[in-house]
Structure 1
Amino acid sequence: MRQTWRWFGSKDLVSVDDMMQAGVEGVVSALHHVPTGAAWTPEEVEQRQTEIGRMKNGSPSGLKWEVVESLPVSEDIKKQKGAWREHIAHYKSSLKVLRDAGIEVICYNFMPVLDWTRTDLACRLPNGATCMRFDLNDFAAFDIHILARPGAVEDYPPEVVGEASRRFAAMDEKACRSLARNVVFGLPGAAEHFTLEDVRTHLAEYAAISEDQLRAHLIDFLAEVAPVAQDLGLRLCCHPDDPPFSLLGLPRVMSTEDDYRKMMAAVDLPASGITLCTGSLGARPDNDLPGMMDRLGDRVHFLHLRNVQRESQGIMGSFYEAEHLGGGTDMVAVIAAALREEERRRAGGRSDCSIPFRPDHGQDILDDLTRSAQPGYPAIGRLKGLAELRGIMTALQHPVEGIRP
């Protein structure tokens, strides 16, 4: 398993020097400043590679940009409207640019409107650390009372509707703005940031798009780009919905093992695969993460290893970002399954036998609390997570223990 680290470019408060001291082997990055739907250029890609390859004092870092996260899919492609065909052409062009730059793994997602969604970006825990949290009652307060989405009340149990009303009644204008800002935060460093009116406009356009239709649009997209990726020797990997259940009445098509099976069966090419995110998928109690790694492993091209603590056993429920070895996912079992998959790949002579992973998200601890890094991406919290994951890998691969069948 190849140890990587997400980096948002020169504005990231966690530096290339920090990554080196963390002992990472490769870097996960993207051109977040390029508008979604536009083609990536060789010059922009080379500039990011140069930034990654240089320390603060100008000496070589030895690090390389190994995984793109993400090459975003535009809302026009997801809806099949407007400039969607042009955007697909730009996507194919960007894949060729990335191949020429020596980057082979490209992560993307197919979540409508919002990317990952949280209601609190700095929830304080009893030990003083902070983490990101999704509170269903707060989200319902946003949906029903702040966004005022038509029909929103019907999407929540009566007890959630009642608690959301009580919480909204206790909010002042500043609290309402803060909650709305958290919900529509989106990707760190992204070129686009939605307003509430933007969200309402997108929701109206999705009103006529069912889950089956959105899945058909995903399959149409992959039917266009996956053969190009296959010919170029690239590996595309779709990130799951986060959280893995419907929000704002929007369809979700990447929330379960069955969703991934449908995607892979529809465009059955090795280049079209999975980003197995144990945090996103782990927020849903019916997802078996170690089992998914065992059963779908030959198409897992990228791993996000993080943990969440669910606060209920419902499909839709509150959760917070736990420590990497805390929460509801058995991380030892997941890593053991990943190591077994790598053994199978080595036995089969595959060139991609080392699966890249990164310690996804992290709690803000120690000096993180004063650094104001991207929410979810602190230096020390992620380093702690990487060290814990590295320890599991080392123990499972030790000759005394070996990899259990």
Structure 2
Amino acid sequence: MLHTMRWFGPNDPTSLFDLRQAGCAGVVTALHHLPVGAVWPVAEIAARQQLIEADNGTHAPLHWAVVESLPVHEDIKKGKPGRDAYIANYQQSLRHLAACGVRTVCYNFMPVLDWSRTDLGYELPDGSRALRFVWQDFALFDLCILKRPGAETDYEPAVAAAARRQFADMSEEQVKNLTNNILLGLPGAEESFQLAGFQAMLDEYAAVDAATLREHLHYFLRAVGPVATKVGIGLCIHPDDPPFPLLGLPRVVSTEADLAGLLAAYDHPANGLTFCTGSLGVRPDNDLAGMARRFGPRIHFVHLRSTKREENPRNFHEADHLAGDVDMYAVVRALVLEEQRRAAAGETNRPALPVRPDHGHQMLDDLSTAKRTYPGYSAIGRLRGLAELRGLELGIRRSLADSLSAD
């Protein structure tokens, strides 16, 4: 496997040398400073590559292994008349990335919010801090802060009543913090939404139900898939996070059936998956190890992260990488076997599977108020996660080799 970490560019408080010293050979990044929907120019891509590889002559080499993400414009998700122009731009960005040698592109198809958490500093028993999602807190935001029309029908009556009681006791500062947490937007890009005008963004999706959003996703795939095929890029969609509808918006990349449907929509190896165990693992009906086996040939990129479901199954927090509800041993073993299958089949055009420790706890001196970190992307928590995952991978590879030699 190719060990990587996400890096948000020159302003990221985690440096490229931090990634080197953590054991990474690949960098996962994007051109966050460019507007969504714009063509990524070759010059901008090359400049980012040069920045990543600047010290390769004297230090452990790094290379830009994965784009995360090349974002999909909201007009494509909504099926607006102008979507074909944005799709054409997306196609051209793929051509430019391929010309520069970047051949794995992650994206998502979540409407409006790319991800959502209600608590960005949930304290764990060891004193470290994690990301957490609490269904009642989200209901409180939706019902009492945003006051979305029709929101009441999306929540169990007991949850809605408890949310209203909780809101009555909250301070202005607590309301502000919850709002900011939910509207944070894309991590690392320092992009966030404002409450004023947010409802209008949701209203744009009033006529888009799950079937319609799925149709728009498949339309997009059938348009960009052939270009990715021609230039040798592996497209890999990231699952919904969390994997269930929020704010009245549909989500269509949450289950095994969802993934099978989108792979069939453009049935070619270029159309693949970002296999995120954290996002998919929130749902108890997702068999992660089985999915890794069944979808293995179409997995282009892997996020390894574990979540722990709480008493309310829609509540979860991000656990240690080898703890929580994800059977990380079974998942990594399935991925190692997939790599071995590719090697045995002579798939030389597919290098080592890029893997990154998705998110990490805030711990040690990353807890210092004087130190700036992105939620989920502090250096030390991810260093710990990658170290644990590398050890797990090595143990699995050794055990598989021992089994073969014993035979």
- Which band: TM-score by shorter chain? over 0.9
Q: Which residue of 2 aligns with 1:49?
A: 49
The residue type equivalent to 2:350 in the other structure is D
Deviation of 1:7 after TM superposition, in Å, equals 0.3
Deviation of 1:185 after TM superposition, in Å, equals 0.8
Question: Equivalent of 1:343, from 340, 343, 348?
Answer: 340
The residue type equivalent to 1:53 in the other structure is E
Deviation of 1:122 after TM superposition, in Å, equals 1.0
| Structure 1 contact 345–353 (Cα < 8 Å) conserved | no
Change (3 A) 1:403 1:202: farther
Deviation of 1:58 after TM superposition, in Å, equals 9.8
The residue type equivalent to 1:368 in the other structure is D
Instruction: Supply the RMSD in Å over aligned alpha carbons.
Output: 1.8
| Structure 1 contact 32–191 (Cα < 8 Å) conserved | no
Higher mean alpha-carbon deviation, 33-42 vs 351-360, is at 351-360
| Structure 1 contact 30–69 (Cα < 8 Å) conserved | yes
| Structure 2 contact 115–240 (Cα < 8 Å) conserved | yes
1:82-141 CA distance string (max 9 Å, x none): 532211111011001100110000000000010110001111112110011101111000
Change (3 A) 1:82 1:174: farther
Change (3 A) 1:90 1:278: same
The equivalences for 1:142-221 within 5 A come to 142-190=141-189, 192-221=191-220
Change (3 A) 1:160 1:45: same
Q: Which residue of 1 aligns with 2:110?
A: 111
The runs of at least 4 aligned residues of structure 1 exceeding 4 Å deviation read 57-61, 399-405
Q: Which residue of 1 aligns with 2:70?
A: 71
TM-score (norm 2): 0.95
The residue type equivalent to 1:318 in the other structure is N
| Structure 2 contact 184–191 (Cα < 8 Å) conserved | no
Deviation of 1:190 after TM superposition, in Å, equals 2.8
Deviation of 1:33 after TM superposition, in Å, equals 1.1
| Structure 2 contact 8–189 (Cα < 8 Å) conserved | no
Does the residue aligned with 2:36 lie in a helix, a strand or coil? coil
Deviation of 1:312 after TM superposition, in Å, equals 3.6
Q: Which residue of 2 aligns with 1:250?
A: 249
CA distance in 1, matches of 2:155, 2:402: 47
What is the percent sequence identity of the aligned residues? 52
TM-score (norm 1): 0.96
Change (3 A) 1:367 1:24: same
1:287-332 CA distance string (max 9 Å, x none): 1100100011110000000001101464xx1100110001100000
Deviation of 1:400 after TM superposition, in Å, equals 7.3
The residue type equivalent to 1:385 in the other structure is G
How many residue pairs end up in the alignment? 402
Q: Does 1:283 align with 2:285?
A: no
Change (3 A) 1:375 1:271: same
Does the residue aligned with 1:28 lie in a helix, a strand or coil? strand
The residue type equivalent to 2:209 in the other structure is S
CA distance in 2, matches of 1:402, 1:385: 26
Does the residue aligned with 2:295 lie in a helix, a strand or coil? helix
Does the residue aligned with 1:206 lie in a helix, a strand or coil? coil
The residue type equivalent to 1:187 in the other structure is L
Q: Which residue of 1 aligns with 2:352?
A: 354
Higher mean alpha-carbon deviation, 351-360 vs 58-67, is at 58-67
| Structure 1 contact 3–26 (Cα < 8 Å) conserved | yes
Does the residue aligned with 2:197 lie in a helix, a strand or coil? helix
| Structure 1 contact 75–113 (Cα < 8 Å) conserved | yes
CA distance in 2, matches of 1:113, 1:340: 37
The equivalences for 1:221-232 within 5 A come to 221-232=220-231
Q: Which residue of 1 aligns with 2:361?
A: 363
Q: Which residue of 1 aligns with 2:397?
A: 397
The equivalences for 1:4-83 within 5 A come to 4-55=4-55, 62-81=61-80, 83=82
CA distance in 1, matches of 2:342, 2:173: 53
| Structure 1 contact 332–392 (Cα < 8 Å) conserved | yes
CA distance in 2, matches of 1:313, 1:342: 37
CA distance in 2, matches of 1:82, 1:193: 26
* Unaligned runs of at least 5 residues, structure 1: none
| Structure 1 contact 54–60 (Cα < 8 Å) conserved | no
The equivalences for 1:81-96 within 5 A come to 81=80, 83-96=82-95
Higher mean alpha-carbon deviation, 189-198 vs 179-188, is at 189-198
Higher mean alpha-carbon deviation, 255-264 vs 349-358, is at 349-358
* Unaligned runs of at least 5 residues, structure 2: none
CA distance in 2, matches of 1:293, 1:390: 18
The residue type equivalent to 1:324 in the other structure is H
Deviation of 1:199 after TM superposition, in Å, equals 2.4
Does the residue aligned with 1:197 lie in a helix, a strand or coil? coil
CA distance in 2, matches of 1:226, 1:273: 10
